[in-house]
Amino acid sequence: MKQYHDLVKHVLENGKAMGLSAYGNKDNNFPDLFANNSHIPNDYHFGHEFHDDDNLEAVYLDLTSLRNRNFTKHNVDIYADYALHVQQQTQDAVCKLIEKAVEKTQQKNIIITGGYGLNVVANAYYLKKFPELNFYFEPMADDSGTSIGGALLAHRILTKDTEINPLNTTCFHGRSYYIDNEIGEASSTEDIVDLLISQKSVALYKGLAEAGPRSLGHRSILFDARNINAVNIVNKIKKREWYRPFAVSILKEDCSKFFDTSILQESKYMTVNFDSTEDARKQLPGVIHVDGTCRIHTVDETDGELYNILKVFKEKTGIGALLNTSFNLAGYPLVETPNDAIDTLNSSELDYIWFADQKILRGKGNEQS
């Protein structure tokens, strides 16, 4: 199991460069990733022997002595500069693909999917660069969404079904689990909000798990976004790197006060980064990244218990927003079963789990005080 975990964790390392890129300096002169200012990969970087150590030296000599993950705030510059270089050049390459597709098809409706579709920085960039286009960012843009798309295509081929069914769920799929009422103590939404206000971390466990790498309120870890140290506290809980930011879940009606909604009015699936306002930087410092942006999850009445928590939190604090991150530890999949949830509680510095459907609160050792 550990071997599998280490392999998966290594494969997923590339997704971490997005958060690191915000610390970078674009003036560093790195070789181009793409040939002739196009979307065509430059063999200098993407040759078939890319994983060979000799070829890695050919990619960029100055980086070969820095191939480790033990960088800190004091030695981060070269890593962050290169992450920014990769971020900017890859998103520009996708823009060229978008332009080519629009020119060829004359279509203005663009779907972004595939693993790179999880890049919320790039997604915001497309919206700003192409305000005349209509973008749909697939919430399950990784392999989970690809498999669902393949199944849907097979269904249409076999049944000749051509009916278009709009997406009307928030990506909750899977199965339900029995939860023993004895695993914790009865609690209310107000109890949970009081814990959050007292700077406790609370995992929200409800119904079917999210499909895709999003925390949309069924398997989420919540924390007070007003706390300036929230990133450090929650990164420690999740055992993640210090530089990685977190998303915010915010009442839809309050979003425009804290974030620039000129590119989008809502973001139900956490697929886009938004620029923050001065109010957000003052009142929600725990979720604002070093570049002044934040991944947004707008919440309304259709979002069930998370909406209730935000409403009560706003009644008590004046702020309808909370840090929201996926209920898992670094390198592990999203929590699925109640036992998964309890194991994660007991193996981390997470304070509580709230099983919202049963209104049961569990702390470490089932001690709720």
Say if residue 11's pLDDT is above 70. Answer: no
Task: Decide: 217 and 368 in contact? Cβ < 8 Å.
Answer: no
Domain end among 113, 143, 173:
143
Burial of residue 203, with CB atoms counted within 10 A of its CB: 0-12 exposed, 13-18 middle, 19 or more buried: buried
- pLDDT mean over 261-285: 95
Say if residue 96's pLDDT is above 60. Answer: yes
Which amino acid is present at 291?
A: D
Place of tokens 């870890």: 221
> Phi and psi dihedrals of 259, rounded to 5?
-140, 155
- pLDDT mean over 201-211: 94
> Which range among 67-76, 79-88, 239-248 has the greatest average pLDDT?
239-248
Choose between 93 and 322: higher pLDDT: 322
Task: Decide: 242 and 262 in contact? Cβ < 8 Å.
Answer: no
Give residue 49's pLDDT: 41
Rounded Cα distance between 287 and 296, Å, is 10
Average pLDDT, the chain: 86
Rounded Cα distance between 50 and 12, Å, is 18
Q: Is residue 157 part of a domain?
A: no
Which amino acid is present at 342?
A: I
Rounded Cα distance between 150 and 104, Å, is 24
Q: Are residues 134 and 192 in the same domain?
A: no
Q: Is residue 168 part of a domain?
A: no
Q: Are residues 187 and 319 in the same domain?
A: yes
Q: Is residue 151 part of a domain?
A: no
- Coil, helix or strand for 357? coil
Say if residue 10's pLDDT is above 80. Answer: no
Q: Are residues 242 and 349 in the same domain?
A: yes
Q: Please name the helix (run of DSSP H) or strand (run of DSSP E) that holds residue 274, with its range, or none.
A: strand 273-275
Q: Is residue 164 part of a domain?
A: no
Q: Is residue 7 part of a domain?
A: no
Q: Are residues 217 and 288 in the same domain?
A: yes
Task: Decide: 309 and 189 in contact? Cβ < 8 Å.
Answer: yes
Q: Are residues 247 and 332 in the same domain?
A: yes
Q: Is residue 43 part of a domain?
A: yes
Give the relative orientation of helices 120-129 and 77-105 as an angle to the nearest 10 degrees: 50
Give residue 312's pLDDT: 98
Give residue 303's pLDDT: 92
Q: Is residue 4 part of a domain?
A: no
Q: Within 13 Å and on the Cβ side, how many CA atoms surround 187?
A: 25
pLDDT in tens, 315-351: 999 999 999 999 999 888 899 999 999 999 999 999 9
CB count, 10 Å around CB of 41?
Answer: 14
- Coil, helix or strand for 134? strand
Number of domain units in the chain:
2
Supply the pTM of this predicted model: 0.87
Say if residue 189's pLDDT is above 60. Answer: yes
Q: Is the dihedral of CA 120, 126, 127, 128 positive or negative?
A: positive
pLDDT in tens, 21-79: 999 987 777 777 776 666 666 554 544 344 444 443 334 445 545 555 567 788 888 88
Q: Are residues 237 and 350 in the same domain?
A: yes
Q: Are residues 245 and 315 in the same domain?
A: yes
Q: Are residues 213 and 116 in the same domain?
A: no
Task: Decide: 327 and 207 in contact? Cβ < 8 Å.
Answer: no
Q: Are residues 96 and 198 in the same domain?
A: no
Say if residue 8's pLDDT is above 70. Answer: no
Output the six-digit token pair for 103: 């020119």
* Beta strands at 109-112 and 321-326: parallel, antiparallel or unpaired: unpaired
Q: Is the dihedral of CA 345, 351, 355, 359 positive or negative?
A: positive
Q: Are residues 189 and 138 in the same domain?
A: no
Rounded Cα distance between 215 and 287, Å, is 15
Place of tokens 């079904």: 161
> Any idea what the CATH number is for the domain that residue 232 is in?
3.90.870.20
Rounded Cα distance between 104 and 259, Å, is 35
Which amino acid is present at 294?
A: C
Domain end among 143, 174, 197:
143
Task: Decide: 194 and 224 in contact? Cβ < 8 Å.
Answer: no
Give residue 139's pLDDT: 87
Which amino acid is present at 326?
A: S
Choose between 69 and 139: higher pLDDT: 139
Q: Strand (E) positions, 106-191?
A: 109-112, 134-137, 185-186
- pLDDT mean over 362-369: 68
Give residue 74's pLDDT: 81
Q: Are residues 125 and 193 in the same domain?
A: no
Burial of residue 148, with CB atoms counted within 10 A of its CB: 0-12 exposed, 13-18 middle, 19 or more buried: middle
Q: Please name the helix (run of DSSP H) or strand (run of DSSP E) that holds residue 299, with its range, or none.
A: strand 293-299
CB count, 10 Å around CB of 345?
Answer: 21
> Any idea what the CATH number is for the domain that residue 132 is in?
3.30.420.40
Q: How confident is the model at residue 213 (pLDDT cuts 50, 70, 90)?
A: confident
| Domain assignment of residue 248, given as a range | 182-366
Q: Are residues 107 and 211 in the same domain?
A: no
Domain end among 112, 128, 143:
143
Q: Is residue 222 part of a domain?
A: yes
